[in-house]
């Protein structure tokens, strides 16, 4: 259907959103590990003194990267086109649609696969978020290990200089290389943290869909240590859209348990973010002293 003025004003933004979604979908089969071992990739140098720690960090964050690619594409497409039609910012619309669309589509499809069993759907959601929480613990440990490895590498350079095994110019060059690799580590960690936070937002949106459909209190993202706070009333505008049935959960405790694991997920995600920020701030400590 032709809408006067629509094609000329929105064709490029809509095309951009469609192309972005296509690229996301096309890359779904390429894991973070595969990308990392390509020439110039994060794991391309097996002679790196901290290669094992890099491999651990990359593997721990890979789950979130592949999950995001799989879940975001449809939501980004729907949100972006909706923004273009209504005249709102297309990129903002795509970001909102990505989270809401991924959450709603995931939960509704799961509910349908379960033949409309809301309790089973809630239990499966709880299990998945619990598994993600375990993965977040692995990411946190991997961050500790890579940071400690680089610090030890820097200590070794200082020790060699102190024992006059190397000259100061040599030490400066070696420390420069350690600092460069550490910067790469933190850049890779930042990418993982960004994916983790987006995934956390998806989980909040998933809970809010259940909460809205069952008249329970919602969660909203907030500048707190956990990253979320409980609302005083059911969340608005996130329940079953027109044409979809509500996902009814008979056991009210399952809603509370979902809120609990999602809140824990948000807390752990923010802890990963803070750890990366602290790591980035520590770059200046990689000097000869």
Residue 226 and residue 222: Cα distance in Å, rounded? Answer: 8
Torsion of CA 262, 263, 267, 273, to 10 degrees: 50
Number of alpha carbons in the 13 Å side-chain half-sphere of residue 54: 24
The pLDDT of 169-196, averaged and rounded, is 97
Report the C-alpha gap between 216 and 28 in whole angstroms: 35
The Cα–Cα gap between 274 and 220 comes to 20
pLDDT band of residue 31 (cuts 50, 70, 90) is: very low
Reported pTM: 0.78
Taking the C-alpha atoms of residue 112 and residue 241, their distance in angstroms, rounded to an integer, is: 15
Q: For the segment 206-238, what is each residue's pLDDT rounded down to a tens digit?
A: 999 999 999 999 999 888 878 888 988 888 778
> Is 9 a residue whose pLDDT tops 60?
no
pLDDT of amino acid 239: 77
Question: Model confidence at 1, in pLDDT bands (50, 70, 90)?
Answer: very low
pLDDT at 26: 38
Flag whether pLDDT at 5 surpasses 50. Answer: no
Per-residue pLDDT at 272 exceeds 50: yes
Specify the 3-state DSSP secondary structure of 68.
helix
Domain chopping of the chain, boundaries: 6-282
Q: Degrees (nearest 5) of the Cα angle 283, 139, 153?
A: 40
d(CA 105, CA 194): 22
């Amino acid at each position: 259907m032709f809408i006067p003025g629509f094609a000329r004003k929105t064709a490029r933004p809509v095309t951009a959103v469609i192309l972005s979604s296509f690229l996301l979908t096309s890359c779904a089969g390429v894991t973070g590990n595969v990308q990392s071992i390509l020439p110039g990739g994060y794991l391309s140098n097996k002679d790196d003194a901290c290669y094992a720690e890099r491999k651990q960090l990359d593997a721990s964050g890979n789950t979130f990267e592949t999950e995001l690619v799989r879940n975001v594409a449809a939501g980004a497409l729907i949100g972006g086109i909706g923004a273009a039609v209504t005249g709102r910012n297309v990129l903002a619309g795509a970001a909102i649609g990505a989270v809401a669309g991924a959450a709603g589509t995931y939960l509704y499809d799961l509910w349908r696969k379960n033949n409309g069993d809301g309790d089973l759907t809630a239990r499966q959601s709880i299990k998945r978020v619990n598994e993600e929480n375990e993965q977040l613990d692995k990411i946190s440990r991997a961050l500790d290990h890579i940071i400690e490895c680089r610090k030890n590498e820097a200590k070794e350079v200082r020790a060699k200089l102190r024992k006059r095994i190397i000259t100061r110019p040599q030490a400066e060059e070696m420390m420069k290389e350690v600092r460069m690799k550490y910067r790469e580590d933190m850049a890779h960690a930042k990418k993982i943290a960004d994916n983790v936070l987006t995934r956390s937002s998806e989980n909040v949106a998933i809970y809010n869909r259940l909460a809205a459909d069952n008249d329970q209190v919602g969660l909203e993202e907030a500048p707190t240590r956990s990253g979320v706070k409980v609302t005083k009333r059911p969340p608005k505008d996130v329940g079953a859209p027109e044409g979809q049935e509500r996902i009814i959960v008979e056991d009210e405790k399952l809603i509370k348990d979902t809120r609990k694991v999602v809140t824990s997920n948000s807390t752990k995600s923010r802890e990963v973010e803070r750890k990366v920020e602290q790591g980035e701030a520590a770059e200046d400590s990689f000097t000869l002293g």
